[in-house]
Amino acid sequence: MIARFSPAALGYAGGVILLLLAPAVIYPVLIMKVLCFALFACAFNLLLGYTGLLSFGHAVFLGAAAYITGHVLKVWEWPTLAGLLAGTLVAGALGWVIGSLAIRRQGIYFAMVTLALSQMVYFFFLQAHFTGGEDGLQGVPRGDLFGLDLAQDQNLYYVVVAIFVAAFWLIHRTIHSPFGQILKAIRENEPRAISLGYDVAKYKLLAFALSATLAGLAGATKTVVFKFATLTDAHWHTSGEVVLMTLLGGMGTVFGPVVGSSVIVTLQNELADKVGSLVTVIMGAIFVICVLAFRRGIVGEGIALYRRMIGQKNGR
């Protein structure tokens, strides 16, 4: 019976089972944090790895959704599902606006423009009253979902897993769809894609908006988990972190961002108390090493290794 499913499908099923069992051995709040950032990185990878666009201000979508969700849950007392949706959709809308401006430039300039535009929104967050500025938005209620009281970490955990699996599936389908193929074509050879008649600008914008929306979902979920939204969520350091997670894990691979974010979040968590500011140095060093010698990332190198091994086997 197992043989009817491809190795990939079995692998995914195994992964989900592992996730469901994990709280028995690992602190669930840590795993939830990893899942949120993994989703953020997967959304980001859609743009970088598959469309070839480096957005250096992606944290603004994480932060915008975090604040919106926080606000509607705490101040307007909306139900949790509505709050999550609100944050996600606002992030998507913001993505549409920023994306339209940014795609007017290519390559490096695109990155700088996204950075500067997101910085503008960051300063807005800093000064707006509803965000609480430096204090942040605290005491966001988790509420409940379909009768489950989310104040219990255990219940919330399964909801977060469900959200992650659903979003991951969505990204997976997108990548393997005709839409995804066109995105890859744009990454490989944009002039060619144009000459083939595709409205490249429209596709880039769509990819940007989709990426922003899913990043928003990650931010909204994070607010519910930590009951908190702060400026850190929208700061450009966080934008840099998600680039690192994707690069380290492997750009343009499906699993790369998940691996990368798991490594980075766990590393930061474990090292923060022990080495203080050296964590930043370590992050920087990983960046430098990845760019110089490890550009395919963990999963990318893994796949290359696997292919070499099969090649060797067949060649013999």
Partner 1 sequence: MTDFFGVPLPALFGQLVLGLVNGSFYAVLSLGLAVIFGMLNIINFAHGALYMMGAMLAWILLEYLGLGYWWSLLLAPVGVGAIGIVIERALLQWLYKLDHLYGLLLTFGLALIIEGFFRHLYGVAGQPYSIPDELAGAINLGFMFLPKYRAWIIVASLTVCLGTWFMIEKTRLGAYLRAATENPALTQAFGINVPLMVMLTYGFGVGLAGFAGVLAAPATQPGPLMGSNLIITVFAVVVIGGMGSILGSVFTGLGLGLIEGLAKVFYPEISATVVFIIMAIILMFRPAGLFGREK
Partner 2 sequence: MKKKYIALAVLAALSTAAQAQISDKTVKIGVLTDMSGAYSDIAGQGTVEATKMAIEDFKAREKPDFAVEMVAADHQNKGDVASNKAREWFDREKVDVITELVTTSTALAVMKVAKEKNKLVLISGAASTRVTNEDCNDVTVHWTYDTYAVSNGTARAVVQQGGKSWFFITADYAFGHSLEKDASEVVTQAGGKVLGSARHPFPGSDFSSFLLKAQSSGAQVIGLANAGTDTMTSIKQASEFGITPKQSLAGLLMFISDIHALGLKTTQGMYLTDGFYWDLNKETREWSKRYFDRQKKMPTMVQAGMYSAVMHYLKAVKATGTDDTQKVMAWMKKTPINDFFAKNGRIRDDGRMIHDMYLVQVKKPEESKYAWDYYNIRQTIPADQAFQPLAASRCPLVKK
The residue among 163 and 242 lying less far from partner 1, judged by its C-beta, is: 242
The yes or no reply on residue 277 touching partner 2 (CB under 8 A) is yes
- Segment lying near partner 2 (by CB under 8 A), choices 91-99, 175-183, 250-258, 271-279: 271-279
Give the residue, chosen from 16, 19, 22, 29, that forms a contact with partner 2 under the rule CB under 8 A. Answer: 29
- 273 touches partner 2 (CB under 8 A): yes
Q: Which residues pair with 149 in a beta bridge?
A: 144
**Distance in angstroms (rounded) separating the CA atoms of residues 244 and 261:** 8
Binding site for partner 1 (CB under 8 A): 54, 56, 101, 104-105, 107-109, 111-113, 115-117, 119-120, 123-124, 126-127, 236-237, 240, 243-244, 247, 275-288, 290-292, 295
260 within 8 A of 37, measured Cβ to Cβ:
no
Measure the CA–CA gap between 312 and 21, rounded to whole angstroms.
37
Alpha carbon separation from 180 to 91, 186, 204, 290 (Å, rounded): 21, 10, 11, 26
Count each helix (H run) and each strand (E run) in the chain, helices first.
13, 4
Q: Does 134 contact partner 2 by CB under 8 A?
A: yes
Element (H, E) at 24: none
- Binding of residue 133 to partner 2 (CB under 8 A): yes
CA distance 255 to 202: 27
Segment lying near partner 2 (by CB under 8 A), choices 12-20, 52-60, 73-81, 127-135: 127-135
DSSP string, 176-243: TSHHHHHHHHHHH-HHHHHHTT--HHHHHHHHHHHHHHHHHHHHHHHHHHHTEE-GGGGSHHHHHHHH
Shortest distance in whole angstroms from residue 138 CB to partner 2: 5
Kindly state whether residue 119 participates in binding partner 2, applying the rule CB under 8 A.
no
The listed partner (partner 2, partner 1, none) that binds 295, CB under 5 to 8 Å by sort, is partner 1
Site residues for partner 2 per CB under 8 A: 27, 29, 126, 133-136, 138-139, 151, 153, 226-228, 230, 232, 273, 276-277
